[in-house]
Amino acid sequence: MNNDLEGFGQWRRTVDTRLGTLETRVAEQASLRAQMDEDMSELRVEFRAQRTLLQALHDTQQEHSATLREHGGMLREHGGMLSEQGAMLREHSGMLSEQGAMLREHSGMLSEQGAMLREHGATLMEHGGMLREHGAILSTHSAILSEHTTILSEHTTILRDHSTILRDHSTQLTALQTGQQRIMAGVDAIREMLDRTLNSGN
């Protein structure tokens, strides 16, 4: 009888030791899970910030695209005006050819037409300056679009890296949860065995 009691006491001390070890491991698993929850919360915050930045870049790119379309329309309008003025110049050149024999008699008319040609030349110079300005603007916007494309590529790489980290943390969290469930099931089983043993001893 004494041997049975001593064996039971030793067995109970062993079980208590194992339970203490299991409880320590459960506490460690809970601490790790809390740390992973905090890391995932930080990653979600950073992901939202990156998504906001990408949306801002997308809106800026749309604005630049709209500006480029407006400048393209203006360039087409100026091209049409230049074509019309080119046609007018050709018409005036024909008139000058036809009136070559009447230069002495129509010197006043030639003077007026010369003034008109100077006005059209000034208009052409103005449009040429405007075309150069629009060309410089288009070059600037092209450089800006190239920079934004580079930034978008960098942020896409960052998002892919964060997605990989999130997947890894999710996998680790699932593994921890599974291990914790197994540990808790083992603890419950041991407790049931202790209860049955204690009840049978009584």
In one-letter notation, the amino acid at residue 6 is: E
- Residue 61 has a CB neighbour count (10 Å cut-off) of 16
User: What integer pLDDT is reported at residue 145 of this predicted model?
Assistant: 81
User: What integer pLDDT is reported at residue 183 of this predicted model?
Assistant: 81
**Left, alpha or beta for 159 (phi > 0: left; psi -120 to 50: alpha)?**
alpha
pLDDT digits (tens, 9 = 90+) for 18-54: 777 877 887 778 788 778 878 778 878 887 888 888 8
Q: Please count the helices (runs of H) and the strands (runs of E) in the chain.
A: 2, 0
Asked if the model's pLDDT at residue 2 lies above 60, the reply is: no
Which residue's structure tokens are 């960052």?
A: 158
Asked if the model's pLDDT at residue 62 lies above 80, the reply is: yes
Please tell me the distance from the alpha carbon of residue 136 to that of residue 138, in angstroms, as a whole number. Answer: 5
Please tell me the distance from the alpha carbon of residue 50 to that of residue 194, in angstroms, as a whole number. Answer: 54
Residue 106 main-chain phi, psi, to 5 deg: -110, 40
Domain spans in the chain, listed from the N-terminal domain onward: 40-201
Asked if the model's pLDDT at residue 170 lies above 60, the reply is: yes
Q: Are 19 and 11 in contact (CB under 8 A)?
A: no
Asked if the model's pLDDT at residue 103 lies above 70, the reply is: no
Using a pLDDT cut of 90, give the percent of the chain over it.
Answer: 0
Please tell me the distance from the alpha carbon of residue 120 to that of residue 126, in angstroms, as a whole number. Answer: 10
Asked if the model's pLDDT at residue 199 lies above 60, the reply is: yes
Reported as a pLDDT band with limits 50, 70 and 90, residue 106 is: low
The token pair that represents 124 in the structure block: 């052409």
- The gap from C-alpha 54 to its chain's centroid, in whole angstroms, comes to 3
Please tell me the distance from the alpha carbon of residue 46 to that of residue 48, in angstroms, as a whole number. Answer: 5
